[in-house]
Amino acid sequence: MAPSPRNRIIRRLSTAFAALSLAGGVLAAGPAAGASPNPITHPDKDHAGSSLEGSGSGTVTPLVSGPLGLDVSSHQGNVTWSSVKSNGAQFAYVKATEGTTYQNPYFSQQYVGSYNVGLIRGAYHFATPDTSSGAAQADYFAAHGGGWSADHHTLPGAVDLESNPYGASCYGLSQASMRSWIHAFINEYHAKSGRWAVIYTSLSWWTSCTGNTDTTFATNSPLWIAKWASSAGTLPAGWSFYTFWQYADSGTFPGDQDVFNGDSTRLLALADNT
C-alpha cells in the first residue's frame, strides 16, 4: 500500500533533519570539544573592577591613611608616571594578561614606567575560569609579565577574580569547582614565582561564586578587596584584614584608586618577601 500524503511529509522531514545533524554535528553534538563556552573577545575592556562599573561610586575618599596607589590596564593607555609619582602614589598594579591568549599592549610602558619613577609595582591577571585551567593561566601569567624578582620594587602577582564579562557571573562553575580553580592558580603561581598570589575580589562575587566558606586562601594569599565606598566593609571569610583596598574608580590617579594597609616600610617588606 502506498504511504499516505501525511506519512510522506513526515518521512521527508525526518530525512532532512538527519541530514542536517550529520552535516557538521551541530544539532547532534553541540560545540566542538575543547571550545571555550565564552571566547575572550574584548580583553581591553576587562580590568580590575570592570564588573563594578555603573554602581555610581565615582570618586571616594577612604577613611584610612596609608600609602596610596593605583591599578591600570590598556584602558588607560600610556600613563604619565612622573605626574603619578609627584601626586603622591607609592605603588601600582598593572594588568598583564587575561586567559591564556591576551597580553596588555601597554604593559611595558606601564610596568617599566612605574618602576622607572620609583614606584613599587606589581602585575595582575584577569581570570577567565571557563576558558582554561587555573594552572594553565598561572603559567601564562608568570611567563608574560607576572613573575617576581627581588629588586625591592616588585609586588607579588595578583589574580583578578570578578564577574564574568562574557556571560554568567561565576563562569558556569560550581562553588566547589571555582574553589578548586583558584587553588590550582595560587599553587601553580607559587611554584613558578616563589610567591603567593594576591587575590583581588569583592565580597559579593566571592560569596556567590566560592561560597565564602574556604578560609585556607587567607593562610598565604594577601587580600585585595574591591569596595567603592569610604569603608572596605566586611571581608571574605578567613581574612581578618585586607592588604590592598580598591576604594574608587576615579580620583587623583589614572585608573582605579587603591590604598595599602600599613606604612611604607611594610609595603617594601611585601615587595621584598620579608
Confidence grade of residue 57 (pLDDT, cut at 50, 70, 90): low
- Has residue 11 got a pLDDT over 70? no
What is the share, in percent, of the chain residues with pLDDT greater than 90? 75
Please, which residues have CB within 8 angstroms of residue 55's CB and are 6 or more apart in sequence? 228
Please, which residues have CB within 8 angstroms of residue 259's CB and are 6 or more apart in sequence? 62, 64, 66, 67, 68, 69, 244, 245, 247
Q: How big, in percent rounded to 5, are the helix, strand and coil portions of the chain?
A: 35, 20, 45
Per-residue pLDDT at 47: 66
pLDDT tens per residue, range 68-120: 999 999 999 999 999 999 999 999 999 999 999 999 999 999 999 999 999 99
- Has residue 50 got a pLDDT over 50? yes
Residues identified as active-site: 71, 160, 162
Other C-beta atoms closer than 10 Å to the C-beta of 26 total 11
CA 233 – CA 248 distance, rounded (Å): 14
For residue 204, what are the β-bridge partners? none
CA 272 – CA 257 distance, rounded (Å): 23
- Has residue 156 got a pLDDT over 60? yes
CA 34 – CA 49 distance, rounded (Å): 29
Per-residue pLDDT at 33: 34
Select from 44, 59, 45 the least CA-distant residue to 249.
59
Per-residue pLDDT at 44: 63
Q: pTM (2 decimals)? A: 0.82
Instruction: Tell me how far CA of residue 199 lies from CA of 9, 14, 18, 213, in angstroms.
Output: 60, 54, 50, 15
pLDDT tens per residue, range 157-212: 999 999 999 999 999 999 999 999 999 999 999 999 999 999 999 999 999 999 99
- Has residue 267 got a pLDDT over 70? yes
Whether the CB-CB separation of 197 and 157 falls below 8 Å is answered with yes
For residues 264-268, give the mean pLDDT.
Answer: 98
Other C-beta atoms closer than 10 Å to the C-beta of 98 total 27
CA 126 – CA 229 distance, rounded (Å): 22
Which 3-state string (H, E, C) describes 136-162?
Answer: HHHHHHHHHHHCCCCCCCECCCEEECC
The counts of H helices and E strands in the chain are 9, 9
Q: Which amino acid appears at position 15 of this protein?
A: T
Rg (CA), the chain: 23
Whether the CB-CB separation of 73 and 47 falls below 8 Å is answered with yes
Phi, psi dihedral angles at 210 (to 5 degrees): -115, -15
Among the ranges given (19-33, 57-71, 142-156, 206-220), the one the predictor scored with the smallest mean pLDDT: 19-33
